Amino acid sequence: MKNKLMLTGVIIIILLILAAVFAPKIAKYDPTYINIKEALLPPSEEHLMGTDMLGRDLFSRMLFGSRIALTIGIVAVGLAAVIGVALGSIAGYFGGKIDSVIMRFADIMLCFPAFFLILAVIAVVGPSIFNIMIIIGLTSWMGMARLIRAEILTLKTRDYVLCSRVLGASNFFIITKHLIPNGIGPVLVSFVFGVAGAILMEAGLSFLGLGVQPPDPSWGNILMEGKAVLGVGWWVILFPGLAILITVLAFNLLGEGLRDALNPRIK
């Protein structure tokens, strides 16, 4: 509560989640309904954020776009966290050849620019919400694996781990009950930062036409459609751009606050 920046980020994220959950009740219009007669209307009481070039209510599209942004961000990074924690904990606990194989594979994955790797894969499998979540998750686990591995390398020599071994506890029990819970702090911080990165990644892919496909609204494809009418419909670019900026900033503020809260040196 003392960290005002973190508290600001938490409040923004809670508001975004509420907007995403209750989007069908908050939105006055169908986000995909086309009404050419009301194309490019500026913000007003009737249309809080104006309309786009097809007469669709921008506020409704922004609300439903928040659902896609948060879903892709959380699910994709959740998948990356599961893979990273599993592989990193195995590498750190067993060491030796297992550690070398897993970490060298992570190093190889890190050699590829993530955005271009995702572009290449999407070009092959095709763009969809499901594909984007899976691909981002499968290409974003390396950092978390390194973090949990480093934590487990220090934790596995602690007395309580040695006592568990003496008492006959299995490797699976030691990893899941002792090591991962005690070393998960840095991974939580990385998870929060990763959500911000995944939201930005999805927006970039949708802006290039390789992400969420119309008529489904996402902040990225709203930006893509708005660039054609930038001179006469500034609001079509402004609001999704601000949404991406504020959302990414909120998750970064939360990540910074968590990093400070979980750092024993600061305490």
Nearest to 23 by CA among 71, 67, 74: 67
- The predicted model gives 203-216 an average pLDDT of 86
Is residue 49 in a domain?
A: no
Question: What pLDDT band is residue 261 in, cutting at 50, 70 and 90?
Answer: confident
Domain for residue 24, yes or no?
A: no
Whole-number Å distance between alpha carbons of 194 and 198: 6
| Contacts made by residues 104-113, CB under 8 angstroms, sequence distance 24+ | 106/142, 106/145, 106/146, 109/139, 109/142, 110/142, 112/139
46 in a structural domain: no
**107-122 burial, b for 16+ CB within 10 Å, e for fewer?**
eebeeeebeeebeebb
130: containing domain: 4-18+58-261
Amino acid at 121: V
Segment among 62-66, 189-193, 240-244, 260-264 with least mean pLDDT:
260-264
pTM score, whole prediction: 0.89
Q: What is the pLDDT of residues 47-99, one digit of tens each?
A: 999 999 999 999 999 999 999 999 999 999 999 999 999 999 999 999 899 99
Instruction: Count up the domains in the chain and report the number.
Output: 1
* Residue 215 within a domain: yes
pLDDT of the residue at 122: 84
State pLDDT tens for residues 138-175: 989 999 999 999 999 999 989 989 899 899 999 999 99
pLDDT tens digits, one per residue of 226-238: 888 888 889 999 9
pLDDT digits (tens, 9 = 90+) for 236-253: 999 999 999 999 999 999
User: Residue 264's pLDDT is what?
Assistant: 60
> Over the Cα atoms of the chain, what is R_g?
22
> pLDDT per residue over 21-52, tens digit each?
999 999 989 998 998 999 999 999 999 999 99
Answer yes or no: is 40 within a domain. no
**CATH number of the domain residue 126 falls in:** 1.10.3720.10
112-142: pLDDT as tens digits = 887 888 888 888 888 888 888 998 999 899 9
* Residue 265: per-residue pLDDT: 59
pLDDT band (50, 70, 90) for residue 266: low
Looking at residue 5, what is its pLDDT? 87
Domain annotation covers residue 152: yes
| Residue 71 domain flag | yes
In a domain, 180, yes or no: yes
